[in-house]
């Protein structure tokens, strides 16, 4: 992969080509936002903004929101928002994967959908819709929280993860 330097951070030529292929004007901000999302799957706006600021310096939160919205609109990244969590962004697009969320720390992991026959795309009643995607979220307690006791057994089925925009999982 060919690399070029962009404000002291390496950005792949492929990222520039990806933006151009989707009709998006290539700017340092958009490249930095795309790189931040690629490097940190399931990143919040706050995490993306902090990464972009480390990369290119001063940038407004609104500029990051605008870049994220454009990249989502063009199908380059995906916006997900499990109930009770801030919006998160990932560059894994084009498949029908799902997510698993820890009720205690908010950790979020990808879960592959079935290959071939996809039961998640066959609802009991489809109301004549042409179903092409399903959004499934599995809720539970991650192994680290189970081991630390910070979630096992003290959550009921209605509990939601922390609501803080700044909350990031404490483990991967």
Q: What are the pLDDT digits (tens) for 110-160?
A: 998 877 777 777 888 889 999 888 888 999 999 999 999 876 444 444 434
What local confidence, expressed as pLDDT, does residue 160 receive? 42
**Domains of the chain (ranges plus CATH)?**
3-80 (1.10.10.10), 95-172 (no CATH)
Bridge partners, 100 (sequence order):
109, 138
Bridge partners, 5 (sequence order):
10
Per-residue pLDDT at 3 exceeds 60? no
Q: What are the pLDDT digits (tens) for 84-115?
A: 889 999 999 988 789 999 999 999 999 988 77
Write the CB contacts of 45 (distance below 8 Å, at least 6 apart in sequence). Answer: 61, 64, 65, 68, 86, 87, 89, 165
- Do 45 and 167 meet the contact criterion of CB atoms below 8 Å apart? no
Residue 59 tokens read as 């940038």
Q: What are the pLDDT digits (tens) for 14-50?
A: 889 999 999 999 999 999 999 999 999 999 999 999 9
Q: Look up the pTM and report it.
A: 0.74
Alpha helices (H) along 57-87 = 61-73
More confident residue, 56 or 170: 56
- DSSP 8-state class, residue 77: S
- From the list 53, 117, 140, 44, the residue with the least C-alpha distance to 85 is 44
């Amino acid at each position: 992969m060919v690399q070029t330097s962009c404000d002291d951070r390496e950005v792949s030529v492929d990222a520039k080509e990806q933006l151009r292929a989707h009709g998006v004007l290539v700017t340092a901000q958009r490249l930095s936002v795309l790189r931040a999302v690629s490097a940190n799957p399931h990143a919040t706006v706050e995490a993306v903004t902090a990464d972009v600021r480390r990369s290119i310096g001063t940038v407004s939160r609104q500029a990051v929101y605008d870049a994220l919205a454009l990249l989502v609109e063009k199908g380059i990244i995906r916006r997900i928002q499990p109930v009770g969590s801030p919006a998160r962004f990932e560059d894994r697009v084009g498949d029908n994967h799902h997510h698993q969320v820890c009720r205690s720390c908010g950790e979020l992991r990808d879960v592959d959908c079935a290959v071939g026959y996809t039961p998640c795309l066959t609802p009991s009643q489809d109301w004549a819709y042409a179903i092409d995607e399903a959004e499934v979220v599995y809720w539970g307690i991650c192994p680290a929280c189970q081991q630390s006791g910070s979630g096992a057994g003290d959550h009921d089925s209605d509990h939601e993860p922390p609501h803080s925009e700044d909350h990031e999982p404490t483990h991967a």
